[in-house]
Every structure is written in C-alpha cells, then in structure tokens.
Amino acid sequence: MNTLRHVDLNLLVVLEALLAERHISRAALRLQLSQPAVSHALGRLRQLLDDPLLVRGQGGLVLTQRAHELAEPLAEALAQVRILLGPSGFQPATARRSFRLAMSDYGAMVVLPPLLRAVRKAAPGIELVVSQASREGMTAQVSDGEVDLAIGVFAHQPEGVRMAALFDDGYACVVDAATVRDHGRLDPVAYLARSHVLVASDRDRVDPVDAAIAKQGGRRKIACVVPHWSVAPALIAGTNLVLTTARRSLAALEQDPRFAVFEPPYPVPGFTVSALWNGRNDADPGHSWLRERLLAACSGAQADESISLRG
C-alpha cells in the first residue's frame, strides 16, 4: 500500500498531462519536459498505481479503465492544490496568468474583441489563448480541463460543467448589393432561386436554416460549404450567392454599401450563446474574475448592438 509521504506528487502533474494528451510527446511539450523524462514518469506511475494507464490502440494510446476512473478525481485534487498554493485572492493589475478559451470564429469576432479590451484594461499581465473546436469538442475539452472557458451554442451540459447564458442572436442574410433592387432584400421565391454559401464545420449536422425552410416545403441550393465564417463575405462579393448566418457577425457588413443585409424570408428560430466552464474552477478567484469580465463584455456588446435589418 502506498502512503502519501512516499509518493512524489510531481507524478500526479505528469499523469494529468498524460490523461489529457494521450500522447507522450505532447504531454512532454505541455509540461516543458523531455520525452524520456515523461516516459520514465509514466513507468513510475504504472508501478505506483499497478495499472498500465495508457495502452496501444487504434490510432495511438488509449486510456485503461483505471485511467478513466482517475481522471476526474485527479483533476479535482490538483485544482484544489493549485488554489491552495496560489496567491490569496486575485489582483488583476499585477496578475500573471494564462487562460485557455475555446470558441468558433463567430465567437472570436463577436465576443473576443470586447472581452480582450476589458481584460487588457484591468489586467495587462493576463494572456488569453484561444483555440477552435466543434461544440462537442469544446464540451469535452471543458470536461477534461483542457480549456478554462468555452463559448458557443451548446445543447448538452455534462455533469460537473457549469453553463451561463451570454446573449441571444438570430439569423440574417447578406448578398452583393448590386444584385438586389432598391428594397435590398429577397422574397422567398427569389431566395430559393439563388445558390447559397453555407458555413458549417460539420456538414452532417442539420442546419437550422435548412430545417426552417424544409418546414415550409422549400430547399436551398448549396454552392459552397466553408468551415469558417470569416471567408464567407468574400465569396458573396461580385456574385449572386446568398449567405444566411448569425446576425451579429454581419454588423460590420451592414455599414458596407457593397452588401445588402436583411431578414431571412423564412422564419428561423434564434439561439443562445453561452459560456461553459468546469465546476472545479468555481472557487478559483482568477477564473471567477474572468467569467465576470466575460459576462460584462457580452452585456455591453448586446447593449451596443445597432444592426438594423431590412424586413
């Protein structure tokens, strides 16, 4: 039986990285250690816990059942140790810390600018590291402790994960202004007569716009599917293509005379953008501060929203 005084607690930090990365080289990079050092630590962990922990499988290393069982209590224990050893309270003006955020390019366009301004003003030593993943991927990253906050539209909230609504949004259409008449919009017949650009990271998922149109007995003709919103407006310019996407992401184009932005000719339900974080971070004062800045930034952005759509 292992007693705590005989255990090198640094091994638990290595185990945390190995369980998250499932790859020795990536765990070594994350820990800023050499690969042989991490391999040696894995050997000691296997002996300590009497389990192989990671075994060869299709596509690389996979976790054993024992490793899966250890993941959550290990993350909770290390989170508490970090709070215990960290400075008392959180002083934004002098804090030096990195937070990992996951969001789509829509989130990066709508949420990140006001959040970054607020963080830079109050805490210039804070670093925000932003990554992108599918909504399922972001949810898993929050559950596994790989990211501190995820921002998006989430249908599933796993046990132990917190969620807070940030703002509501809907859909709008954009076309090249030269391709529409003075009223600057398309009726349902003209809308379906044109080809469309679809922004979708997962083509197998039913698009809410297509679902709404299908209820009315219609169907769009898709000319191009792109995974990122940022390239879509460039595909619209100089063509008769239509882009139907999140309304807030089109606020800048509303002011651009080259484009016409208008309400969809079919009723499309809106959606709520939310933040996810792991409940293990509830007691972390720095994490709480960042969540407060996020909520305030989104509240301010919602109040400043000035896009006026043609109906």
Domain span at residue 127? 92-166+272-299
Tell me the chain's radius of gyration from C-alpha atoms: 24
pLDDT digits over 88-104, tens only? 678 889 989 999 999 98
Per-residue pLDDT of 245-299, as tens digits, reads: 999 999 888 889 999 999 999 999 999 999 999 998 888 889 999 999 999 888 7
Residue 306 domain-assigned? Answer: no
204: three-class secondary structure by DSSP: coil
Q: Are residues 280 and 158 in the same domain?
A: yes
**Residue 305 falls inside a structural domain:** no
User: Among 56, 85, 114, which residue terminates a domain?
Assistant: 85
User: Domains in the chain: how many in total?
Assistant: 3
- Predicted pLDDT at 215: 93
Q: Are residues 153 and 226 in the same domain?
A: no
Please check whether residues 147 and 33 belong to one and the same domain: no
Residue 64 and residue 22 in contact, taking contact as beta carbons nearer than 8 Å: no
Give residue 287's pLDDT: 93
pLDDT, residue 77, reads: 82
Residue 175 sits in the same domain as residue 118: no
Q: Last residue of a domain, which of 55, 85, 115?
A: 85
**Do 238 and 259 lie in a common domain?**
yes
Residues 249 and 189 in one domain: yes
pTM of the prediction?
0.71
Residues 97-134, buried b or exposed e (16+ Cβ, 10 A)? bebbbbbbbbbbbbbbebbbebbeeebeebebebebbe
At 59 the pLDDT is 72
Residue where a domain terminates, one of 85, 101, 117: 85
pLDDT at 310 over 80: no
Q: Give CA–CA dist 31/17, Å, rounded.
A: 7
Does 304 reside within a domain?
A: no
- In a 13 Å sphere around the CA of 291, the CA atoms on its Cβ side amount to 21
CA 98 vs CA 38, 119, 141, 291: distances in Å:
23, 12, 16, 14
Pairing between strand 60-63 and 161-169? unpaired
Residues 8 and 53 in one domain: yes
pLDDT beyond 80 at 58: no
Q: CA 27: distance to chain centroid?
A: 22
Mean pLDDT of 130-152: 92
Considering the domain boundaries, does residue 75 fall inside one?
yes
Please compute the mean of the pLDDT values over residues 172-194 and round it to a whole number.
92
